[in-house]
Structures are given as structure tokens and as C-alpha cells.
């Protein structure tokens, strides 16, 4: 059975940084509505909206205090209803961010739960007694420090796998699960296009055994959720699952299991960190390993699941800075990443600003850093004796603020993002990198994305074609074919900043679909690839 989310491209918006409409320096829903024509021009079919619910913004909306109210800074429920309606007029669905591994500590449920051990909402969260006067076990938060916070009033600890203000929900509690499903149906009834599910692999956790991802009840919970909410509707449900492997991905996305449409897996996104370290412990990317990861996922899911394809999101550094070149080869490297990704099998996701090649933004001091994950790591590593320069080097390479600098619309003050003071500094390269200039330049990265998105709509080979890797190429070159009903497309991408030579005599080029060096002849039999050169051709 074919689904709409298999033939379209999803655009992720981080609302805080997309477009401010009232001059308070914070993006908002009316700002997004004002940019829907731009997104329609890009050609995307759905928007994954990072959380817009009421939140104290300890983790910029991923700490929710009311799932059925809109964050004050972003607007109100009428704005939300208007966004859904205005997007629908442009054949764009709105996919909401479902954050149900935890709430904010200001959520009414937690306010009640903290009132005492016998409170009816106590068991909506995970509490544990001290062990020998200390934390119940060695579980650690993703945002540094222990995952256990002591509650003086009750003498117990509560679990928070993220910030102290993000207490984990207790999914073993059926009443809690039903409350989540009721909230999901509230949003489904509003006509949304689906859900992106925040750290959904954690909801089966067994804290007393220090089990967090992939707990034994995880898939039963997802099947129960499917049945109780989106199961009989054609919605996109994409789980964020940092621990997924192709085997476990089949459990989430095999249609016969009635769980999710697909998952985000991050194997490729962890190749530039020490295997036994944290994201901050940097190692150079080995392109050979990157290719192996892509080929594994393209070939092992088979028809028992569906891939998501992405380079960027609101947690990841900008790909052109991370694995490409954000200097003079910025545009060709950005186009190369787009071509290499969009011709693979699966649903591509474009993160705001990726389509114009936005880059990381270097910071030099703690007071320029907003993100709780980076700030907590800064303090933890400073206390552990790390040099400030090393800490800043890690944050400049992998910090999440890199993805959260305001969208760069034009050359006016603050890149047209706000008439006020932006909540996070705009990248000073906005006079060179912005939507206005990109739309005026037929050779811009924007038009590469627009072309790739348009091709997917009218070429079944791009959606359904069988993927086959081409092994006889240099380590820095990723090459593959897609085959469908007698047609064969060949994609070549040089991931290196240096030239590379390929010799693929077995193919005859019958048409050039797209290339990032438009004046280069494509010979295949004996060809030198320029740095970051990429193309897709029809071959016989």
C-alpha cells in the first residue's frame, strides 16, 4: 500500500528561529504562516513542527507544561488552527512533535505528583528511594550529571533522562498512557498530518535495572498507541530512535506490525565521535564508514520497513560545516549532500536553512551559548579540568545552537528574521547566505533542492527503485544505482575536498538528471571528479 509520506519531502521548522512576526525576537506561528508560499515554492509536502505547546523553555519547548495549549511566545490556538488550514490550502500537512517520554516539571501532572507519595498523579512519573543515602543508581542525564533529582518534600528521587525540569513519565502506568492517547486524538481531530515522536525508544525504560532504550514493553506500547490513535488514519508517524539498528527498525516500521511509518536512526550521525566517548569527543569522518552505514540501511530494511533520510535537524550541526566545506566550496558541497541523499530510497527531510546552505556559527564565550545541553556540558567539563578552548572547540563542532541560529531570509537587519533583538544571534554571514539572494540565483542550492523534490513527485524510480551500491570506486566516492521497470539511474558523489578518479566503463549515459558542476561532461568510463562533485544520470 502506497502512502503520501513515501512520495514527498518533509521540511522541519524550529519555530523559535524561523520567522518572528511581532518584533519580540522570537519566531512564531504567524511568522510561519507568512512563509508558507516560500515552502510551497520549495515543493515540500509536510512540515515537521518542533514543539509549539506551552513550555517554560528550559529545553526550548521539549519541556511541555500543557500539551493542549500553544506556547505564549508562539501565539495561540487560533494561530495554530490557521496554520493547519493555510498549509492545507497549499497541499502541505502539519506533523506535530510528540514529546511523551517526559513533561516539564511545571506540567499540572507533575505539580500534583510532587504534592506527596499518595497523590493520584504520583505514579505518572518515576520515583525511587535513595540507596545508602544517594541516587538510586548511576543513570546519567543526556544533559550531564545524574538522571536522578532529589525531592526534599518526599525524600525520594525522580528520574529525568534530560534536564532536571524534564521529569520522565512512567509508561508502565496505564492511566498515563490513556491520557497521552487522549491528547494525541485531540491533535488528530484538528487535522494534523502526523507525529514525530521524541526519543520514543525510551518509553519502555526500566530505570531500576538502568535500562533506558528498547525496553521489553516498548513495542507493545507502540502497538497499543497505534490502535488507540492514528492506526486507522493515513498519518506520518516517525520515531526518533537514537539506538535503532536495521533489525530494530523493522520492528518499528514493518507495516504488518501496526506501529510507526518509519524511524530516524543516527548511526551516520555518530561517526565523527569517539566510539566509547560522547558527541563532544571528536574524530574526523571516515567516508568509507559513512558509505557502509548508508548501504547497510538501504539494503537491510528491505520491504519490512521504510528509511528516513536526513543530514540535519535542530540537534545536529549544519552538514555543510560538519562534513562539507563552509568556505569557497560551500555551494558545491551543499548540493553534493542533497544529491547523494535525495536519490536514495526513503523519505527525505530538509531542515530549515539546509536548502540555502546555512552554516555553523562559531562562538567564543559561554554567554553566547544558549542550549542547555552545551551549557551543562561546559560546566561539567570545566569542573573536570578540560581546557576552555577544547570545550569551545567541541561546542563549535557539535553544539545544537549551530542549527538554531535564525533563518536567513534576506540582507536586511537580522536577516529579515526579526525587527527586534533575536533570541539567539544571527549568523553574520547572512548578507551572503539568504533566501532572497538564493531565489534570485538560478544556480543556487535552493534550486537544487527544488529540482530534487519535484523529481520525486513524478519519478517512481526515485521512490520505489531498487538500490544497489557500486563498490568499484575510491573510498571517498559514494556511487549507487536505482532500478525500476527497466530504467536505471546512476548517482555519483565525491565526498572529498580533493579530486577523485572513477572508471565505470559498463554504463552509457543517456541523460543527465542533475549535476553540481554544470559545465562538466559526464563520461563515467574514465572521469576525474572535482572536489565534492556529484551528479545523477540515466544510464543504459
Binding site for ligand TEU (CB under 6 A): 59, 62, 99, 142, 162, 198-199, 240, 242, 279, 314-315, 373, 400
Binding piece for Ca ion, criterion CB under 5 A, among 24-32, 81-89, 456-464, 515-523: 24-32
* Least Cβ distance, residue 270 to ligand TEU (angstroms): 9
Which does residue 488 bind out of ligand TEU, Ca ion, none, counting CB within 5 to 8 angstroms by kind? none
Report the Cα 390 to chain-centroid distance in Å.
Answer: 26
* Least Cβ distance, residue 26 to Ca ion (angstroms): 4
- Give the C-alpha separation, 315 to 303, whole Å: 29
Task: Please say which residue, 259 or 371, places its beta carbon nearer to ligand TEU.
Answer: 371
Which does residue 162 bind out of ligand TEU, Ca ion, none, counting CB within 5 to 8 angstroms by kind? ligand TEU
Q: Which residue has the cell 555518530?
A: 270
Task: Please say which residue, 198 or 401, places its beta carbon nearer to ligand TEU.
Answer: 198
Q: How many residues does the chain have?
A: 540
Task: Please say which residue, 28 or 259, places its beta carbon nearer to Ca ion.
Answer: 28
Which does residue 201 bind out of ligand TEU, Ca ion, none, counting CB within 5 to 8 angstroms by kind? none
* Least Cβ distance, residue 191 to ligand TEU (angstroms): 24
What sign does the dihedral 44-293-279-146 (CA atoms) show?
positive
User: 370-382 burial string, b = 16+ CB within 10 Å, else e?
Assistant: bbbbbbbbbeebe
Task: Please say which residue, 167 or 465, places its beta carbon nearer to ligand TEU.
Answer: 167
Task: Please say which residue, 110 or 446, places its beta carbon nearer to ligand TEU.
Answer: 110
* Least Cβ distance, residue 17 to ligand TEU (angstroms): 13
* Least Cβ distance, residue 76 to Ca ion (angstroms): 12
Closest by CA position to 459, among listed 345, 351, 535, 340: 345
- Give the C-alpha separation, 170 to 98, whole Å: 16
* Least Cβ distance, residue 66 to ligand TEU (angstroms): 16
Binding piece for Ca ion, criterion CB under 5 A, among 23-31, 43-51, 145-153, 203-211: 23-31
Which does residue 28 bind out of ligand TEU, Ca ion, none, counting CB within 5 to 8 angstroms by kind? Ca ion
Sequence-ordered alpha helix ranges (H) in 324-413: 330-342, 372-383, 388-398
Task: Please say which residue, 10 or 71, places its beta carbon nearer to Ca ion.
Answer: 71
Q: Is 26 in the site for Ca ion (CB under 5 A)?
A: yes
Which residues touch 158 (CB under 8 Å, ≥6 apart)?
125, 126, 127, 148, 149, 151, 167, 168
Task: Please say which residue, 198 or 325, places its beta carbon nearer to ligand TEU.
Answer: 198
- Give the C-alpha separation, 278 to 380, whole Å: 13
* Least Cβ distance, residue 198 to Ca ion (angstroms): 23
**Phi, psi dihedral angles at 136 (to 5 degrees):** -60, -35
Please check whether residue 48 is in contact with residue 235, taking contact to mean a CB–CB distance below 8 angstroms: no
Which does residue 64 bind out of Ca ion, ligand TEU, none, counting CB within 5 to 8 angstroms by kind? none
User: 296-328 burial string, b = 16+ CB within 10 Å, else e?
Assistant: ebbeebeebbbbbbbbbbbbbbbbbbbbbbbee
5, 10, 20, 394: which one binds Ca ion (CB under 5 A): 20
28, 58, 267, 272: which one binds Ca ion (CB under 5 A): 28
- Catalytic positions are 198, 240
Burial class (CB in 10 A: 0-12, 13-18, 19+), 475: middle
Please check whether residue 22 is in contact with residue 68, taking contact to mean a CB–CB distance below 8 angstroms: no
Residues 107-146 that bind Ca ion (CB under 5 A): none
- 3-class SS at 151? strand
Which does residue 354 bind out of ligand TEU, Ca ion, none, counting CB within 5 to 8 angstroms by kind? none
User: 182-210 burial string, b = 16+ CB within 10 Å, else e?
Assistant: ebbeebbeeebbbbbbbbbbbbbbebeee
- Give the C-alpha separation, 157 to 144, whole Å: 17
* Least Cβ distance, residue 459 to ligand TEU (angstroms): 32
Q: Is 22 in the site for Ca ion (CB under 5 A)?
A: yes
Which does residue 243 bind out of ligand TEU, Ca ion, none, counting CB within 5 to 8 angstroms by kind? none
- 3-class SS at 195? strand
Which does residue 20 bind out of ligand TEU, Ca ion, none, counting CB within 5 to 8 angstroms by kind? Ca ion
Closest by CA position to 202, among listed 237, 157, 159: 159
Task: Please say which residue, 315 or 325, places its beta carbon nearer to ligand TEU.
Answer: 315
Binding piece for Ca ion, criterion CB under 5 A, among 22-30, 34-42, 236-244, 517-525: 22-30
Give the DSSP H or E segment for 511: strand 509-515
Which does residue 331 bind out of Ca ion, ligand TEU, none, counting CB within 5 to 8 angstroms by kind? none
- Give the C-alpha separation, 431 to 411, whole Å: 5
* Least Cβ distance, residue 28 to Ca ion (angstroms): 4
Task: Please say which residue, 169 or 424, places its beta carbon nearer to Ca ion.
Answer: 424
What sign does the dihedral 347-352-357-359 (CA atoms) show?
negative
Residues that bind Ca ion (CB under 5 A): 20, 22, 24, 26, 28
Amino acid at each position: 500500500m502506497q502512502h503520501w509520506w513515501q512520495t514527498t519531502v518533509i521540511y522541519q521548522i524550529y519555530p523559535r528561529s524561523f520567522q518572528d512576526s511581532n518584533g519580540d525576537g522570537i519566531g512564531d506561528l504567524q511568522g510561519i504562516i507568512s512563509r508558507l508560499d516560500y515552502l510551497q515554492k520549495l515543493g515540500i509536502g509536510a512540515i515537521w513542527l518542533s514543539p509549539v505547546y506551552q513550555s517554560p523553555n528550559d529545553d526550548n519547548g521539549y519541556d511541555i507544561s500543557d500539551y493542549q495549549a500553544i506556547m505564549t511566545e508562539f501565539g495561540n490556538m487560533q494561530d495554530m488552527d490557521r496554520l493547519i488550514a493555510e498549509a492545507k490550502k497549499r497541499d502541505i500537512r502539519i506533523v506535530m512533535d510528540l514529546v511523551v517520554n517526559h513533561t516539564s516539571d511545571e506540567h499540572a501532572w507533575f505539580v500534583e505528583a510532587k504534592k506527596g507519595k499518595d497523590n493520584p498523579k504520583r505514579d505518572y512519573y518515576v520515583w525511587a528511594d535513595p540507596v545508602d543515602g544517594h541516587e538510586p543508581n548511576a543513570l546519567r542525564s543526556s544533559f550531564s550529571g545524574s538522571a536522578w533529582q532529589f525531592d526534599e518534600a518526599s525524600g525520594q528521587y525522580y528520574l529525568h533522562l534530560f534536564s532536571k525540569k524534564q521529569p520522565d513519565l512512567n509508561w508502565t502506568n496505564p492511566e498515563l498512557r490513556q491520557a497521552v492517547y487522549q491528547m494525541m486524538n485531540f491533535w488528530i481531530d484538528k487535522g494534523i498530518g502526523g507525529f514525530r515522536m521524541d526519543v520514543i525508544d525510551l518509553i519502555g525504560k526500566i530505570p531500576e535495572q538502568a535500562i533506558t532504550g528498547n525496553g521489553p514493553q516498548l513495542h507493545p506500547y507502540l502497538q497499543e498507541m497505534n490502535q488507540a490513535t492514528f492506526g486507522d488514519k493515513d498519518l506520518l508517524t516517525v520515531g526518533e530512535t537514537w539506538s535503532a539498528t536495521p533489525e530494530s527498525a523493522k520492528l518499528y516500521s514493518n507495516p504488518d506490525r501496526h506501529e510507526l511509518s518509519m524511524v530516524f536512526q543516527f548511526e551516520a550521525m555518530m561517526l565523527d565521535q569517539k566510539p566509547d566517548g560522547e558527541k563532544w569527543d571528536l574524530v574526523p569522518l571516515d567516508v568509507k564508514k559513512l558509505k557502509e552505514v548508508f548501504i547497510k540501511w538501504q539494503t537491510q530494511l528491505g520491504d519490512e520497513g521504510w528509511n528516513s533520510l536526513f543530514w540535519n535537524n535542530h540537534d545536529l550541526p549544519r552538514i555543510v560545516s560538519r562534513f562539507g566545506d563552509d568556505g569557497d566550496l560551500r555551494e558545491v558541497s551543499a548540493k553534493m549532500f542533497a544529491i547523494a541523499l535525495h536519490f536514495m530510497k526513503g523519505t527525505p527531510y530538509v531542515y530549515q536553512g539546509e536548502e540555502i546552505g546555512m552554516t555553523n556559527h562559531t562562538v567564543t564565550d559561554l554567554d553566547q551559548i544558549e542550549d542547555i545541553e552545551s551549557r551543562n556540558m561546559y560546566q561539567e567539563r570545566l569542573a573536570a579540568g578540560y581546557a576552555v578552548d577544547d570545550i569551545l572547540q567541541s561546542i563549535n563542532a557539535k553544539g545544537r545552537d549551530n542549527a538554531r541560529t535564525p533563518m536567513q531570509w534576506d540582507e536586511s537587519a537580522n536577516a529579515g528574521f526579526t525587527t527586534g533583538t533575536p533570541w539567539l544571534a544571527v549568523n553574520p554571514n547572512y548578507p551572503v547566505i539568504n533566501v532572497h539572494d538564493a531565489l534570485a540565483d538560478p544556480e543556487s542550492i535552493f534550486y537544487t533542492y527544488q529540482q530534487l523534490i519535484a523529481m520525486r513527485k513524478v519519478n517512481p524510480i526515485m521512490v520505489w527503485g531498487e538500490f544497489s551500491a557500486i563498490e568499484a570506486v575510491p573510498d571517498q566516492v559514494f556511487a549507487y544505482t536505482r532500478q525500476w521497470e527497466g530504467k536505471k539511474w546512476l548517482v555519483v558523489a565525491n565526498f572529498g575536498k580533493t579530486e577523485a578518479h572513477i572508471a565505470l566503463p559498463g554504463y552509457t549515459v543517456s541523460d543527465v538528471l542533475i549535476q553540481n558542476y554544470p559545465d562538466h561532461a559526464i563520461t563515467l568510463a574514465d572521469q576525474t571528479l572535482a572536489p565534492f562533485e556529484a551528479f545523477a544520470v540515466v544510464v543504459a
